[in-house]
Amino acid sequence: MKRKVAIIGGGQTRHAARRHDVNQVELVNEAVRAALADAKMTIDEIDAVLLGNMEFFEGCHMTDCWLADGIGAYGKPGLKITTGGTVGATIVCAGAHHVASGLFDKVLCIGFEKQEEGDTGAILSGVAHPLFGRSMAGAAVGYFAMMGSSYMAAWGAKEEHSAMVAVKARQNARKNRYAHLKLDIGIQDVLNSRMLAYPIRMLDMCPASNGACAMILSDEKTARDRCARPVWIRAMDTAHNEQFEISWRDVLDRRPKFSTTCASRIYRKLGVADPAAYFDVFEVYEPATWAELQWYEDLGLCAPGQGFRLVEEGKTGIDGPMPVNPSGGVLSTNCIGASAMLRVWEAALQIRGDAGGHQVPKEVRRALTTGYGGTNWTVMTALSRDPED
């Protein structure tokens, strides 16, 4: 990129099942104010406002137009992107492009979802083609359930391994004051929870959360002048995937896929040979437990089929050698339009040393984040404490 881009501030709402006390405008405004406070800036100093959201979820067409007043877009340049689950990270990339272009110095990026104001299941089923698959109404839970049945059949993993991921996530979330599902659960609690779609149980699946996240990106000079601990965006990459071929469900499918393709491209950009050694913390987008195991493999943290061993051995725990989702991840908080951005923001907090109770207990120089959405889409970002590292 032509100019270096830093994250100089951010904020998020306390994510929750119910936010009857705010309308959508007020919800995003909370995150925007938190980000401005964190960056010690006023909205007048912001040069552009970028919003990401899934427009069908709240049944609102042109969401950014309604929210314009609450996001500070009045009188300012800006735009809206709507790529689904990945959008939170896409907006971060858009913000980075804006700053790197030289036309904007300080850009506000926002992602949000007020999940309770819509029928999430019905709209997720609308991801499928109207004439080929939509009436199955499987939604996300059906999709990840199929991934689970395929994973267990292929590698001999058990439902207990899924439960281990679920427990790790919610116990981490208990340390994260913003997380939605802070649950003091054990393996048996997960295995006793209600079956939604075999083998996915209630506790194996992400919640539907109401929440927002906002981040402020800037150029190097502003970062040096205004921010004590800027976090640098070192690389970004995006890989989408055609509809109808949603290969993540069938774990033995050997065709090139979105996750491995994107990871190898971002690793090539940075010269990463061993991601587990290069990155100190990972925030991945895991709508269900099985997805997290698959991410371990697709990111190259272990060999194919070995993901479940990593969690079994505690390697990806908050105090492990390769901590994954110390924030509690999407399994603990899923406000879809914000979720991919929360991965980036949480990774930035780790690098800043500001994650509070869920700060990983080791030095964090570099982090990798992934998004997930669409029909197997991802956006990955690599962040660092150092602009050259």
Partner 1 sequence: MSDRVAIVGIAQTAFSPKRAEANYAELAYEVIERVLKDTGLDMARDIDNSISCSHDIWDGQTISDIGITDVIGGHLRNEEKMAMDGSTAVYYGAIGILSGEFRCTLLLAHTKMSQTNRNIVNNDAFDPIYTRLLGFDYTSAAALQARRYMHAYGITEEHTAAVVRKNLGNAVDNPRAHNRGRLSMDEILRSPFVSDPIRSMDVAPDTDGAVAVVLASGERAADITDTPVWIRGMGTCYDAHYLGDRDLAGCMALERAAARAYGMAGITDPRREIDVVELGEEFSYQELLWTEGLGICGRGEGGKLVASGVTGRNGELPVNPSGGLLSGVPANVMGLNRVAEAALQVMGKAGGCQVPGVKCAVAQGHSGFCGQHHCVVVLGADGRRSR
Partner 2 sequence: MSHESAEQELIRIPITVDVPYRFAAGNYMSRFLIELRDNGKFFGIRCPSCGRVQLPPRIVCAPCHVRNEEWVELGLEGTLTAFTVMYLPLTDPTTGEPHEPPFTYGSVRLDGADSNLDHIVHLGDEYDSAWVGMRVRVVLRPREERIGDLSDIIHFEPLKGQEKPGK
Q: Tell me which residues touch partner 2 (CB under 8 A).
A: 20-21, 59, 119, 121-123, 125-126, 128-139, 141-142, 145-150, 153-154, 194-200, 242, 244-245, 249-250, 256
56 binds partner 1 (CB under 8 A): yes
301 binds partner 1 (CB under 8 A): no
166 binds partner 1 (CB under 8 A): no
Q: Which is nearer to partner 1, 67 or 109 (CB)?
A: 67
90 binds partner 1 (CB under 8 A): yes
Q: Identify what 277 binds: partner 1, partner 2, none; CB under 5 to 8 Å per kind.
A: none
Identify which range of 79-87, 150-158, 318-326, 359-367 contacts partner 1 by CB under 8 A.
Answer: 79-87
Q: Identify what 149 binds: partner 1, partner 2, none; CB under 5 to 8 Å per kind.
A: partner 2
193 binds partner 1 (CB under 8 A): no
100 binds partner 1 (CB under 8 A): yes
287 binds partner 1 (CB under 8 A): no
Q: CA-to-CA distance for 231 and 92, rounded, in angstroms?
A: 13
Q: CA-to-CA distance for 372 and 140, rounded, in angstroms?
A: 12
Q: CA-to-CA distance for 318 and 349, rounded, in angstroms?
A: 14
Helix (H) or strand (E) holding 217: strand 210-218
Identify which range of 201-209, 215-223, 371-379, 381-389 contacts partner 1 by CB under 8 A.
Answer: 371-379
Q: CA-to-CA distance for 69 and 177, rounded, in angstroms?
A: 28
What is the token pair recorded at 322? 């390769």
Q: CA-to-CA distance for 13 and 9, rounded, in angstroms?
A: 14
DSSP 315: T
89 binds partner 1 (CB under 8 A): no
Q: Write down the least CB distance from residue 81 to partner 2, Å.
A: 21
Contact predicate 34/56, CB 8 Å: no
Q: Identify what 102 binds: partner 2, partner 1, none; CB under 5 to 8 Å per kind.
A: partner 1
Q: CA-to-CA distance for 387 and 37, rounded, in angstroms?
A: 24
Backbone φ and ψ for 72, nearest 5 degrees, come out as 80, 20
Cα distances (Å, whole numbers) of residue 190 to 173, 184, 186, 247, 312: 16, 11, 7, 27, 15
Q: CA-to-CA distance for 69 and 78, rounded, in angstroms?
A: 13
Number of Cβ atoms within 10 Å of the Cβ of 17: 12
Q: Write down the least CB distance from residue 8 to partner 1, Å.
A: 18
Q: Write down the least CB distance from residue 244 to partner 1, Å.
A: 8
Nearest C-alpha neighbor of 155 from the set 7, 349, 357, 296: 296
What is the token pair recorded at 273? 């040979």
380 binds partner 1 (CB under 8 A): no
Size of the site for partner 1 (CB under 8 A): 63
Contact predicate 150/250, CB 8 Å: yes
Out of 172, 241, 289, 327, name the contact with partner 1 by CB under 8 A. Answer: 241
Angle value at C-alpha 261, between 259 and 266, nearest 5 degrees: 95
Q: Write down the least CB distance from residue 349 to partner 1, Å.
A: 25
Q: How many residues does the chain have?
A: 389
Q: Write down the least CB distance from residue 115 to partner 2, Å.
A: 14
Q: Identify what 200 binds: partner 2, partner 1, none; CB under 5 to 8 Å per kind.
A: partner 2
Identify which range of 32-40, 71-79, 140-148, 293-301 contacts partner 1 by CB under 8 A.
Answer: 71-79
What is the token pair recorded at 18? 């119910």
Q: Which is nearer to partner 2, 56 or 279 (CB)?
A: 56
* CA 133 remoteness from chain centre: 26
Q: Give the footprint of partner 1 on this chain (CB under 8 A).
A: 1-3, 23, 49, 54-56, 59-62, 64-69, 73-84, 90, 94, 96-103, 123-127, 129-130, 236-243, 256-258, 261-262, 373-375
